Chains A and B, each alone.
Chain A
Amino acid sequence: MDSKGNSEKKKDLTCVGKSVRRVDGWPKVLGKAKYTADHSFEGMLFAAVKRADFPHARIKSIDVEGAQLPGVEAIMLEEDIPGNPRFGALNPHQPVIISDIVRYLGDGIALVAAKSEKIAREAAKRIVVSYEELPGLFDPREARKSELSIHPEGNEIVHHVLRKGEVSEGFAAADVVLERDYQTQFQEHAYLEPEAAVAVPQPDGGITVYGSMQHPFSTRRVVARVLGLPLAKVRVIQGELGGGFGGKDESSSIVCARAALLALKTGKPVKLVNTREESFVESYKRHPYYLHYKVGAKKDGTLTAMEIEIVADGGAYASMSTFVTWRSVVQATGPYTVPNVKTDVYAYHTNNTYTGAFRGFGSPQIVYASESLMDELAAELKISPAEIRKKNFYQQGGETATGQTLKHVVSLEPALDAVLAELNKKPLEQNANPVFSRGRGFACSYRGVALGAEGVDATGAVVNLLEDGSAIVSTGVAENGQGLRTVFSQIVSEELGIPLEKIVFLDCDTSSIADGGPSVASRCTIMGGNAVRHACLQLKERLNLSEQPDLQKAIKATLNAGKSLYAFGWHNAPKVSWDEHTGQGDAYFTYVYACQGVEVEVNNQTGETKVLRAVAAHDVGMALNPQQVELQIYGGVTMGAGYGLTEEVILEKGVTKNPNFNGYHIPDSRMIGEIVPIIIENPDAAGPFGAKTIGEPTCELLAPAIANAILQATGARVRTIPATPARVLHAMQKEGAPA
């Protein structure tokens, strides 16, 4: 990346940095955007899945006799799978359907394709499976000790360590040592569109799959593996995506692979759409964490040591647990300089729903714990929550827990000051009604951008400039609803000087662009944006725009010279490093910083908590589209409020007790009174036009801010989220707070 390119001043830009409207909004408001379940093909069949009846059991027999209803065209078991029935990014042990041992209630046992969805579902219901029930494990702390092993390879999925300095010395030097336990819940992504796939067999023996997925390339890998086809014969096209938030990776690959299996078997197009209940039971969740923190500090607040042990519930399959918990081990101390750190993060299998990627990816849990802890420590030391943080914040040129020197602008203090200034514009006014108590709280975080040392981080983009000055753009990362098409179009418009109306953005199609890695880790803008920019810069060079600034003339001259105006840009992330034995290294190539604050009102009689106002300050490097950045903040803050207050998948012995929105409460439009977004810009050399990241940091801060505010309002500390009315009331009774 040329470093010159990053020093543009915003005012010189024509399109980047402006709040242009979404380029893909038109079909959405018309109801014409085509989501996967909206696809329909001649002669299409409908699929249904027979799932496990026990969370842990050995299958003795599967009787499909009763399912052979009129209209049923295929019933498939594991033995009918032509390729490898198991998949998984790190540990390929997850079944598409299974015939020996079921490990959670979402496991599929048989697939049915029929002329109608009704017949398919009825047939699936009539498949009779007999089992030998096995004892289950439903708590990762039990799984840690248990003799019982859910997988042959054992219950431990991963154990990450981080060792810096010597904690015993740090605690010896401390004036105060505090130990606290915190606990977090299963959270469901609750994308409004349940998983769906439509698979269409092709004349060459290959298959085309339309799917509701975030990562078409991961899906292609799974489908090809399961069907036993070369990758080139599997074409995966992303349908318009009705939300993902990290949740449409394995969950979607499974649905696509199942539809593809049935399509190949019947030779007909097959549609498979999960109901909301199936989505809840089958799809992976955010990991529940059990966190133990021990912190030492001097009287003045200077941190001397932190010892952290975290146990995560990985559920039935490994999925992304290793990566999710890796982000936790890197960031577990919070954005504070601690000379001595010892962190252990474990993930174990249980017979609960498996857990995986979810917006935040291992950060919301540790931010909740560490930011609650900072307030608890401040109270112990009788200094203010702001003071203790400022005393210990990472600084530019300083060193993180992993030993990385931060070379870029570290904006923790400006973010905190901005939030406090906004929050405290008016003094805290109590409700005249004594039933209600109000309080304020805040939380701060730092976050590694993109994949970091998880793995190879690179992506590509094609810009196809046409003779009339219009352009077709496609990228290896996918639109997930976040606005990627809009922002990338802005970059093309900026670089080539063509209006947005002349840019057409193609749906992500695995057969037309190089595998650009997953659309995760808030990496799309920074990685994909750079790739788009590389493609544009190649075109600019070919067009020789510096000598011939008239684009139309330049296009003509270039084409006449026999040169192509089709450019492929590829971007590799800057180098990172990691030593897995010590947990030391340059974990991510850059970081973002943020602070969110909140004012809450707690009902002393019932424990109900309302968010009156939330303020969120985020350093995004540079806002390529400020309006879209604000939207990410609104959405993330709201999701964070759900995480902190209402959202919890209740699993009892592996059974999901609240598998729809009547029992699982995502925030509604009344949940938060007001959200004030504050954008902080410190352009980063690693990003396109200095841009970094916004998607994920927005949802990792509100839960601890709320917990800290509840404490201020009631004197009670909630150490388990969500802070439901019952938990808040219980905490108040325990603390002997005014009731």
Chain B
Amino acid sequence: MEATRQAIEFFLNGKPRQMEVSPHSTVLELLRGPLALPGTKEGCAEGDCGACTVVIGEKKKKNESENIFSYRAVTSCLMLAPQLDGKHLLTIEGLAEGEHLHPIQQAILDDHATQCGFCTPGVVMSLLALFLDNPQPSQEDLLAALEGNLCRCTGYVAIKSAGEHLRTDWLLEKIKAKDLRPAYLEEVEKILGAEKEKKVLSIREGEKSFHAPRTAAQLRHLLSISDSKLLNGGTDITVAIKKHGAPIRNLIDLTSIEGMSEVRIGCEEVVIGGAATLRKVAREVEGVLPVLSEAIGKMASHQVRTLGTLAGNLANASPISDTAPLLLALGAVLHLEGPDGSRKVPLSEFYRGYKQIDLGKEEWISEIRLPLSGEKFHHFEKVSKRRALDIATVNGAISLTLDDRRILAAKVAFGGVAAVPFLAEKTSASLLGREWNLETVEFASTVALEEMRPIGDVRGSSTYRKDLIEGILIKHFLACVEEKGWEQ
């Protein structure tokens, strides 16, 4: 293998840094430890509270003549420090210039949006990412940007109104870009934009390592020489390592591989790169598969979706994944790469048992392909205790080809009802040729309850899950009625 680098190079609040970091340490640990910047807070260390939110800036396009920089809020407890390589890390300490508060900080003060103040740095950084990333944020964008920041004091009212004041002032250009963008951004963007390809990052410390290959060939090589775990977003693996002491030694980060993060929309299919983040997928497919954008919008929080990837979510094989049932219903096909070339696996054959998937030790998901055939009705439902930042009790998706009300083709899938995300083939078949009405829903429910025997756990009893299977089928139907404007 070619020469590698041990130290990461990144920008911190406008200043270049080069340093060695522990391969499995998080950005949060780096900030509060070696970097001595304790303004970023630790509230849960698993991406659920948003107190540790920071902003990551990076070059979006490799095109030398035209660089676009993207800024995203991430929970620094879920991002590994080595992943900072080549990026710009912005923290609460990097906003005010001397005694001059940043407009977001000023708005939080003016609107009385800080009480105990522990969540405040995270809130400020979430808002910063919103405005750096989105020149025309809607009210919904604002709410989405804030939903990953938990606050126990304010009831969010003042935080939301501070955000709304900023948003309107921004749209009316009362706040100028030069006030909102920290002064050092331009310089950093210039430097990062001009940056040439660097040696591959490969960090070792004792038995642990972190590698960030740039090409599929490098990845293939790395997989062939070590027993490694793929880091594809890492929002689950980081928690597994940090909280549950998962015995993982070598990590290979997929997100630096060229082209792997792209999403291409064709006439007949959508091709999603194996390292495309959930946020990216949601944005790119909004026009052709809005149901997928909506489903992703109900997952975790904004600052987790900017880290997590769609392929990572599928490969994590959680029986209650929010994307898997929908992708099952949509007929997704995975393209896998490995030592012996590539192969295709329909998602419905990918899951083999609890946390068991059809993916060899040296294989990875290079693409997810979703067919875009004809006029179909798609719908996704998720039932959880809280709208955002929550794992579902049961979720479900449907894809129907309809001739008026007659069902010509059907795929129904559920999560949270079996050891794996479940394509309910018998239930799907029971719909064929029938009129799509309440009677059919009732019939399908009886088939579904024969086909699925959910267990009870902390998120819901077996009985309740059965109720939800029925409830979700009815919701699918009513959503269809609404979408098609049918009389009931």
Q: A662-B48, A669-B159 are in contact. Are A29 and B109 (CB under 8 A)?
A: yes
29 sampled A-B residue pairs with Cβ under 8 A: A21-B110, A26-B109, A29-B109, A31-B40, A192-B152, A194-B42, A240-B116, A242-B116, A243-B116, A243-B118, A245-B152, A277-B243, A435-B474, A481-B115, A481-B153, A482-B115, A606-B383, A633-B155, A634-B154, A635-B153, A635-B155, A650-B458, A660-B48, A668-B147, A668-B386, A669-B151, A672-B155, A725-B385, A726-B461
Closest B residue by C-beta to A190: B152
Interface stretch of the complex, out of B176-184, B446-454, B465-473: B465-473
Given contacts A25-B117, A606-B471, A667-B386, 7 further A-B contacts (CB under 8 A): A240-B116, A243-B116, A481-B117, A605-B471, A635-B115, A635-B154, A660-B44
Q: Is A203 an interface residue (CB 8 A)?
A: no
Residues of chain B within 8 A (CB-CB) of A21 are 109-110, 112
Residues of chain B within 8 A (CB-CB) of A668 are 147, 150, 156, 386-389
Interface stretch of the complex, out of B89-97, B191-199, B200-208, B280-288: B89-97
Interface stretch of the complex, out of B119-127, B352-360, B405-413: B119-127
Residues of chain A within 8 A (CB-CB) of B467 are 606, 726, 729, 733
Q: Is A628 an interface residue (CB 8 A)?
A: yes
CB pair A660–B152 under 8 Å, yes or no, is: no
In the complex, how many angstroms separate the beta carbon of B263 from the nearest chain A beta carbon?
Answer: 27
Residues of chain A within 8 A (CB-CB) of B38 are 34-35, 37-38, 40
Closest B residue by C-beta to A243: B116
Q: Pick the contact of A30 from B96, B464, B474 — CB < 8 Å?
A: B96
Interface stretch of the complex, out of A176-184, A223-231, A636-644: A636-644
Q: How far is the CA of A646 from the CA of B387 in the complex (A)?
A: 11
Closest B residue by C-beta to A31: B39
Residues of chain A within 8 A (CB-CB) of B158 are 631, 634
In the complex, how many angstroms separate the beta carbon of A48 from the nearest chain B beta carbon?
Answer: 14
CB pair A675–B157 under 8 Å, yes or no, is: yes
CB pair B460–A726 under 8 Å, yes or no, is: yes
Q: Which 6 A-B pairs have the closest CB atoms?
A: A31-B39, A481-B116, A28-B117, A634-B155, A242-B118, A31-B92
CB pair B153–A243 under 8 Å, yes or no, is: yes
Q: Is B269 an interface residue (CB 8 A)?
A: no
Q: How far is the CA of A639 from the CA of B475 in the complex (A)?
A: 30
Interface readout for B59-74 with A: 1 if CB under 8 Å, 0 if not? 0000000000000000
CB pair A638–B114 under 8 Å, yes or no, is: no
Closest B residue by C-beta to A645: B385
Q: Is B146 an interface residue (CB 8 A)?
A: yes
Q: A241-B116, A242-B117, A276-B44 are in contact. Are A669 and B149 (CB under 8 A)?
A: yes
CB pair B117–A33 under 8 Å, yes or no, is: yes
CB pair B112–A627 under 8 Å, yes or no, is: yes
Q: How far is the CA of A631 from the CA of B153 in the complex (A)?
A: 8
Residues of chain A within 8 A (CB-CB) of B146 are 669
Q: Pick the contact of A669 from B118, B160, B385, B478 — CB < 8 Å?
A: B160
Q: Is B43 an interface residue (CB 8 A)?
A: yes
Residues of chain A within 8 A (CB-CB) of B119 are 192
Residues of chain B within 8 A (CB-CB) of A40 are 36, 38
Q: Pick the contact of A631 from B115, B124, B389 — CB < 8 Å?
A: B115
CB pair B118–A665 under 8 Å, yes or no, is: no
Closest A residue by C-beta to B386: A665
CB pair B458–A657 under 8 Å, yes or no, is: yes
Taking CB atoms and an 8 Å cut-off, the chain A residues in 2-49 that contact chain B are: 19, 21-22, 24-35, 37-38, 40
Q: Is B391 an interface residue (CB 8 A)?
A: yes
Residues of chain A within 8 A (CB-CB) of B143 are 669-670
Q: Which of A22, A244, A668 has the most CB of B within 10 A?
A: A668
Residues of chain A within 8 A (CB-CB) of B108 are 25, 29
In the complex, how many angstroms separate the beta carbon of B137 from the nearest chain A beta carbon?
Answer: 15
Q: A26-B109, A242-B117, A668-B387 are in contact. Are A192 and B40 (CB under 8 A)?
A: no
CB pair A638–B150 under 8 Å, yes or no, is: no
Residues of chain A within 8 A (CB-CB) of B471 are 603, 605-606, 729
Residues of chain A within 8 A (CB-CB) of B101 are 29-30
In the complex, how many angstroms separate the beta carbon of B222 from the nearest chain A beta carbon?
Answer: 27
Q: How far is the CA of A732 from the CA of B458 in the complex (A)?
A: 21
Interface residues on A, range: 35 or more
Residues of chain A within 8 A (CB-CB) of B149 are 669
CB pair A671–B109 under 8 Å, yes or no, is: no
Closest B residue by C-beta to A122: B245
Number of interface residues of B (CB under 8 A): 74
Q: How far is the CA of A31 from the CA of B146 in the complex (A)?
A: 18
Interface readout for B389-405 with A: 1 if CB under 8 Å, 0 if not? 11101000000000000
Q: Is A434 an interface residue (CB 8 A)?
A: yes
In the complex, how many angstroms separate the beta carbon of A68 from the nearest chain B beta carbon?
Answer: 20
Interface readout for A644-676 with B: 1 if CB under 8 Å, 0 if not? 011000100000011011110111111110010
Q: Is A193 an interface residue (CB 8 A)?
A: yes
Closest B residue by C-beta to A21: B109
Q: How far is the CA of A300 from the CA of B235 in the complex (A)?
A: 60
Q: How far is the CA of A603 from the CA of B156 in the complex (A)?
A: 24
Q: Is A483 an interface residue (CB 8 A)?
A: yes
Residues of chain B within 8 A (CB-CB) of A606 are 383, 467-468, 471-472, 475
Taking CB atoms and an 8 Å cut-off, the chain A residues in 162-208 that contact chain B are: 189-194
Residues of chain B within 8 A (CB-CB) of A667 are 155-156, 386
Q: A193-B43, A194-B43, A243-B153 are in contact. Are A725 and B105 (CB under 8 A)?
A: no
Q: Is B482 an interface residue (CB 8 A)?
A: yes
CB pair B474–A29 under 8 Å, yes or no, is: no
CB pair A608–B383 under 8 Å, yes or no, is: yes
In the complex, how many angstroms separate the beta carbon of A431 from the nearest chain B beta carbon?
Answer: 11
Closest B residue by C-beta to A35: B118
CB pair A31–B93 under 8 Å, yes or no, is: yes
In the complex, how many angstroms separate the beta carbon of B446 from the nearest chain A beta carbon?
Answer: 16
CB pair A435–B458 under 8 Å, yes or no, is: no
Q: A31-B121, A730-B464 are in contact. Are A634 and B152 (CB under 8 A)?
A: no
CB pair A242–B41 under 8 Å, yes or no, is: yes
Q: How far is the CA of A483 from the CA of B156 in the complex (A)?
A: 16
CB pair B156–A669 under 8 Å, yes or no, is: yes
CB pair B150–A192 under 8 Å, yes or no, is: yes
Closest A residue by C-beta to B470: A605
Q: How far is the CA of A275 from the CA of B49 in the complex (A)?
A: 13
Q: How far is the CA of A663 from the CA of B239 in the complex (A)?
A: 14
In the complex, how many angstroms separate the beta carbon of B288 from the nearest chain A beta carbon?
Answer: 26
Q: Is A433 an interface residue (CB 8 A)?
A: yes
Closest A residue by C-beta to B49: A661
CB pair A637–B151 under 8 Å, yes or no, is: no
Interface readout for B137-179 with A: 1 if CB under 8 Å, 0 if not? 0000001001101111111111110000000000000000000
Q: Is A351 an interface residue (CB 8 A)?
A: no
Residues of chain B within 8 A (CB-CB) of A636 are 155
Residues of chain B within 8 A (CB-CB) of A666 are 150, 152
CB pair B114–A29 under 8 Å, yes or no, is: yes
Q: A191-B116, A435-B478 are in contact. Are A725 and B155 (CB under 8 A)?
A: no
Closest B residue by C-beta to A121: B245
Interface readout for B404-424 with A: 1 if CB under 8 Å, 0 if not? 000000000000000000000
Q: A276-B44, A482-B115, A631-B112 are in contact. Are A658 and B458 (CB under 8 A)?
A: yes
Residues of chain B within 8 A (CB-CB) of A32 are 39
In the complex, how many angstroms separate the beta carbon of A360 from the nearest chain B beta carbon?
Answer: 14
Residues of chain A within 8 A (CB-CB) of B389 are 661-662, 665, 668
Q: Which of B153, B157, B158, B460 has the most CB of A within 10 A?
A: B153
Q: Is B45 an interface residue (CB 8 A)?
A: yes
CB pair A192–B109 under 8 Å, yes or no, is: no
